[in-house]
Amino acid sequence: MLLNRIVGYNDVPTIPSNGIQAFLDERNKTMNDLAPLVSNSSMKYGNKTGDVTSSLKYYAMAQCTPDLTSDDCNQCLSNGISQLQTRIGTWVLLPSCNVRFDLTVMNETATTIHEGKRKNTAKVIIAIVIPVVVISAVILALGICYKIKKSKKYNTLHARSASQDFAMIESLQYDVATLQLATNNFSDENKVGEGGFGGVYKGIMPDGQEIAVKRLSKGSYQGEEEFKNEVLLVAKLQHRNLVRLLGFCLNWRGDDSSVRIRCQ
């Protein structure tokens, strides 16, 4: 069985004689407060620093072997604390625990290294996070700008296309008088056929061009915009088997207001 051992003393710096009792009281209080904290910790280790005077600092340390229960650890530490000498610094080493109270911080270098590592780690994290955030923000901004630009371009093209379509529609429109003259006022002699949506008439334009005119009846139930869209679609179709669309006419006079006239 290992015997209790006192393995070190420290008498420098000295404390004035009138301050020794205050020093011992502070030491005992600190160690007694530290013992239960260490006993209940998972690592069975703890340390604490504080001020003895305005110019002196103390270092307190307590440790148990990890296999001890909280009660056994606390009992071992209490035994070690009771054996601390009336010295400036003492370290008591027992078989299952050890305690130390000194004015010299033993792990100052280790603490400095640990803090240095934490600072370096923080710097590395900052160095990684900031560029990632900046790059992500730039990519997001570029994406938004691209989407806005694309939307504006689409709207411009759509408006331009609609304007061009409207111009095409206007250029294809004939007045009813011209068609009446070409078809002899849609006489039966000029009628060449009858479909579900109205009759088809042959005619000759003033320049001598032969045309066929399809006159839509009231029963077609087709609105003006629908009719114009249909005319625009047919006008854009180019095929050798399709009769080329020359134009159209909207007649809104009298009871014949629902009649639509196309010529091709």
Q: Give binding residues as ranges.
A: 214
CA dihedral 124, 127, 132, 138 (to 10 degrees): 180
Specify the pairing of strand 97-102 against strand 45-51.
unpaired
Gap between the Cα atoms of 196 and 193, Å rounded: 10
Q: At what angle do helices 20-39 and 70-82 cross, to 10 degrees?
A: 160
Which residues are annotated as part of the binding site for ATP?
A: 214
Give residue 239's identity as a one-letter amino acid code: H
Query: Which of these, 91, 8, 88, 100, lies nearest to 56 by C-alpha position?
Result: 88
7 and 83 in contact (C-beta within 8 Å)?
A: no
Spatial neighbors of 165 by CB under 8 A, at least 6 apart, are 232
